[in-house]
Amino acid sequence: MAPVGTPVAFRGHDIPRVSGGRFGEYWRCTDVLAGLAQLGAVPGPNGSARWA
């Protein structure tokens, strides 16, 4: 695992549904797996992360 305070970057999408001029629903889709891979919690596409 990465040390506490290690910065990560990952992408996501926000999907609102508007009904009657108001937000009827709101979904957030985030690539949590990419963030976990950067922290070394799960293997990434290039194998396990290595931390000094």
DSSP strands (E only) in the chain: 12-19, 22-30
Give the model's pLDDT for residue 51: 53
Cα 21 from Cα 7, distance rounded (Å): 38
**Mean pLDDT of the 22-50 span:** 84
Give the model's pLDDT for residue 15: 95
Q: What is the largest CA-CA distance in the chain?
A: 54
Q: What pTM, to 2 d.p., does this model score?
A: 0.57
- Most confident region among 4-8, 15-19, 39-43, 48-52 by mean pLDDT: 15-19
Q: Could you give the residue ranges of the DSSP H alpha helices within 4-51?
A: 32-39
Would the pLDDT of 52 be above 50? no
CA gyration radius for the chain? 16
Q: Phi-psi bin for 41: left (phi > 0), alpha (psi -120 to 50), beta?
A: alpha
